[in-house]
């Protein structure tokens, strides 16, 4: 098994109230770079600290790292346009962060990113692939792509309270700036990503297309961003089976009905309950209260641990070890 | 355990008669990119084919990959300046291949590569690190650095017959072009690398310095290139213990007395005999006759397999599987 982690950035994350993927607004730019380092090395290397939300909720990268330590799976990180450098080894599919979706063009290089990721997805030989992402602001840009495609689904949030009004306003401003109406780009997801998406979205879509073109399957490990990717693939005419594996935190989010969206898109939805309320870990309490929810392939990684017969108690203990290591690395 | 694989290129490899790291001169540029893919994925992904010598001797990358499949160790590939893109995830420490050593400057960015690699070496948290390399022409540039430092050691070769006269002529032309005499850059190895080395050499030296600065050890997995790196470190005033682990193919090469060089540099030398004559594998016959010898961390990887109690028969069978997979991938 290999985890394909597609990372990048969008200036959309800097809009006030959009992203909780950083302890402070200034830290958000480091989040995908640090997430990749945590999955690769178990701790930040070039990045200044481990990502956490303003309330101290640790990044889902620690969950994926914990499962990686238990299962020993391989990693392929794809950089579609980070703001800060990462010490995690990456394949480069894009050179710059996405623009604020409220500009006319959000991802000028969407086609190039998609083509590079597609070739990579076609070439990677592993039988079992889990594809995840890290991009602060990614649910807002996903909502932007869905709007351009004319799809009605609402996205979830890494915040406890989904700032739906804020996201909807940003997307409306983005459609205006791009001079398009909702649904104008139905059937043309690359144009929708260029106008309203982010670099990671372009990478995810391209990678999965390549994988399917090679006659192989892939698990989309994530929440409503992955549902939006599935929608984009359906608009491309992809009719192969698609699986999205996510956490119960996303599935239980009533602001975004992921089950209905999966049904409508003919996507198989696998939901894993991390049972963090049983972990007796203060650091995971924020998850139980609906923060973070998903990201960095967390739900898919937990599902693979379950498939391998690893108990949730073992996973929880390993998460605790990973968090303790991060705390001592931050303090050193 | 983690394998740090530092890859890059030098135009020196294009000098007639210097490198056997490619089935034809045109393929040499792909070799380090493909080697990294083979260790990462078990087969080429972006690269056109698996590297082999003109006589068909397979790249040592297959040996390291075979051990990786048995031990499941992690990988960190550092790109110091490749000619062709690789699908292996990398950390970038340099942007362009080194020049022909017969030019005035061989590695204009030696300091930047070294500084980036040093920071990485300081930050990577793993306790056990094995550092290897892939750069065609690397023994010639290593000889160039040794000459600039005034060190008398001869380097080995991936060819069955070491083209010592050819290498010595190239190095003499390089010293002339750089307007230096043998030994002029004693005590200044970064200047020696800039004048006569290659980007991988700069990366290796920097990475090991960072590692030692962090109070940790590292195994230099390679042949006379690693001896030359050890010499450069001694010229920097590094007096920590250094270990070079290499194959008996290098240790038995009478054209390059690696044992004497290690003694003189106060380097602990670990020699592993791959026993390929017992493998009964046609593809490995060329090794038994003195081709390839070492590279891509091969000797160090084999030593780690032995330390882990894995029999040589098991390693040989896994190498056979890796070679069979490469042959079917090349044919597909």
Cross-chain Cβ contact B77/A89 below 8 Å: yes
The tokens of B271 are what? 């020699």
For chain A, how long is the longest CA-to-CA vector? Answer: 52
Check residue B257 and give its pLDDT: 86
- pLDDT band at residue A257, thresholds of 50, 70 and 90? confident
Instruction: Report the pLDDT averaged over residues B305-323.
Output: 97
| Mean pLDDT confidence for B222-251 | 97
User: Rounded mean pLDDT of A263-274?
Assistant: 98
Q: Which of B8, B168, B11, B145 is nearest to B86 (CA)?
A: B8
pLDDT at A331 over 80: no
**Average pLDDT of the segment spanning A93-110:** 96
What are the chain A neighbours of B78 within 8 Å (beta carbons)? 89
> In angstroms, what is the C-alpha Rg of chain A?
18
Q: Which residue shows structure tokens 């090469």? A: B253
Report the phi/psi class of residue A257: left, alpha or beta, with left for phi > 0 and alpha for psi in -120 to 50: beta
Which residues of chain A lie closer than 8 angstroms to B7, CB-CB? Answer: none
Region B26-34: mean pLDDT is 95
Tokens of B305: 């397999």
Q: For A140-154, how does the pLDDT look when each residue is reduced to its tens digit (9 = 90+)? A: 999 999 999 999 999
Q: What are phi and psi of B151, to 5 degrees?
A: -90, 140
Rounded distance between C-alpha atoms, residue B115 and residue A198, angstroms? 32
Nearest to A133 by CA among A294, A262, A293: A294
Counting one residue from A and one from B, how many pairs have CB atoms under 8 Å apart?
62
Reply yes or no on whether the pLDDT at B258 is more than 80.
yes
Over residues B287-307, the mean pLDDT reads 96
CA dist., res. A61 & res. A41, Å (int): 11
Cβ-Cβ contacts under 8 Å, A91 against chain B: 86-90
Which one, of B130, B101, B74, B154, lies nearest residue B304 by Cα? B130
CB contact, 8 Å: A91 with chain B? Answer: yes
DSSP output for B1-25: -EEEEEE--BGGGGSTTS--SSSSG
Interchain proximity B90–A90, CB inside 8 Å: yes
The DSSP bridge pattern shows strands A267-272 and B90-92 to be unpaired
Work out the average pLDDT over A233-237. 97
User: CA–CA separation, A284 vs A60, rounded Å?
Assistant: 10
A2, A78, A89, best to mutate vs chain B, most B CBs in 10 Å: A89
Residue of chain A whose Cα is closest to the Cα of B47: A123
Would an 8 Å CB–CB cutoff place B241 in contact with chain A?
no
Q: Does A126 touch chain B (CB under 8 A)?
A: yes
Tokens read off for B210: 């960072």
CB-facing half-sphere around the CA of B146: CA atoms within 13 A = 25
A318 has a pLDDT exceeding 60: yes
Q: Which of A56, A25, A45, A28 lies closest to A323 in space, CA to CA?
A: A56
- Closest CA relative to residue B73, chosen from B39, B33, B117: B39
Q: Does B77 sit within 8 Å of A46, measured CB to CB? A: no
When pLDDT is averaged across residues A216-232 and rounded to a whole number, the result is 97
For the stretch A175-219, pLDDT in tens is: 999 999 999 999 999 999 999 999 999 999 999 999 999 999 999
Q: Which of A45, A90, A123 sits opposite B89 (nearest CB)?
A: A90
Average pLDDT of every residue of chain B: 96
**Per-residue confidence at B312, pLDDT binned at 50, 70, 90?**
very high
pLDDT in tens, A58-83: 999 999 999 999 999 999 999 999 99
CA triple B2-B6-B9, angle to 5 deg: 160
Residues, chain A, total?
A: 332
Burial B44-69 (b: 16+ CB within 10 A, else e): bbbbebbbbbeeebbbbbbbbbbbbe
Q: What local confidence, expressed as pLDDT, does residue A231 receive?
A: 98
Chain B contact set for A76 (CB, 8 A):
40, 89
Q: Cβ B45–A329 below 8 Å, yes or no?
A: no
> Which of left, alpha, beta for B215 (phi over 0: left; psi -120 to 50: alpha)?
left
Residue B273 CA to residue B291 CA, distance in Å, equals: 14
- The C-alpha atoms of residue B90 and residue B6 are separated, in whole angstroms, by 9
Which single residue is written with the structure tokens 């991390």? A274
State residue B95's pLDDT score: 85
pLDDT for residue B331 is more than 80 = no
Query: Strand locations in chain A, DSSP E?
Result: 2-7, 74-79, 90-92, 129-134, 219-221, 242-247, 267-272
> Is residue B242 scored above 70 in pLDDT?
yes
Residue whose entry in the numeric block shows the structure tokens 């914990």: A66
How far is A160 from A290, CA to CA, in rounded Å?
A: 5
pLDDT band at B262 (very low <50, low <70, confident <90, very high): very high
Q: DSSP class of residue A322?
A: H
What pLDDT does residue A20 have? 87
Give the model's confidence band at A256: pLDDT under 50 very low, under 70 low, under 90 confident, else very high: very high
How far is Cα A162 from Cα A143, in angstroms, rounded to an integer? 13
| Beta carbons of A41 and B89 less than 8 Å apart | no
CA dist., res. B36 & res. A72, Å (int)? 20
Residue B45 and residue A125: Cβ atoms within 8 Å?
yes
Give the DSSP per-residue string, B253-297: -TTS-HHHHHHHTTEEEEEE---GGGT--GGGHHHHTTSS---TT
Buried b (16+ CB within 10 A) or exposed e, A34-55: bbbbbbbbbbbbbbebbbbbee
Average pLDDT, chain A: 96
**Res A277: pLDDT:** 96
- Please tell me the distance from the alpha carbon of residue A261 to that of residue A251, in angstroms, as a whole number: 11
């Amino acid at each position: 098994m290999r985890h394909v982690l597609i990372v990048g950035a969008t200036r959309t994350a800097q809009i006030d109230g959009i992203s909780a993927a950083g302890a402070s607004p200034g830290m958000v730019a480091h989040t995908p770079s640090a997430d990749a380092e945590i999955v690769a090395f178990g701790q930040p290397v070039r990045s200044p600290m481990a990502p956490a939300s303003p309330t101290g909720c640790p990044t889902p990268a620690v969950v994926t790292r914990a499962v990686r330590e238990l299962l020993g799976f391989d990693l392929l990180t794809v950089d579609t346009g980070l703001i800060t450098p990462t010490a995690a080894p990456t394949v480069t599919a894009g050179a710059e962060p996405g623009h604020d979706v409220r500009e006319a063009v959000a991802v000028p290089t969407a086609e190039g990113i998609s083509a590079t990721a597609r070739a990579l997805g076609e070439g990677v030989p592993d039988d079992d692939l889990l594809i995840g992402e890290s991009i602060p602001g990614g649910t807002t840009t996903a909502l932007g792509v869905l709007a351009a495609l004319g799809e009605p689904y609402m996205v979830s949030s890494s915040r406890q309270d989904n700032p739906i009004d804020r996201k909807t306003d940003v997307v409306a401003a983005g459609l205006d700036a791009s001079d398009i109406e909702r649904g104008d780009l139905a059937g043309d997801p690359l144009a929708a990503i260029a106008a309203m998406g982010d670099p990671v979205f372009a990478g995810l879509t391209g990678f999965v297309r390549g994988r399917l073109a090679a006659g192989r399957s892939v698990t989309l490990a994530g929440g409503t961003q992955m549902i939006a990717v599935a929608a984009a693939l359906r608009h491309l005419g992809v009719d192969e089976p698609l699986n999205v594996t996510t956490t119960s935190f996303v599935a239980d989010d009533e602001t975004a009905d992921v089950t209905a969206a999966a049904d409508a898109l003919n996507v198989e939805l696998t939901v894993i309950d991390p049972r963090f309320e049983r972990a007796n870990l203060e650091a995971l309490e924020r998850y139980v209260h609906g923060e973070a929810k998903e990201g960095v392939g967390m739900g898919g990684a937990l599902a693979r641990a379950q498939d391998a017969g690893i108990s949730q108690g073992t996973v929880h203990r390993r998460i605790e070890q990973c968090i303790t290591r991060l705390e001592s690395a931050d303090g050193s």
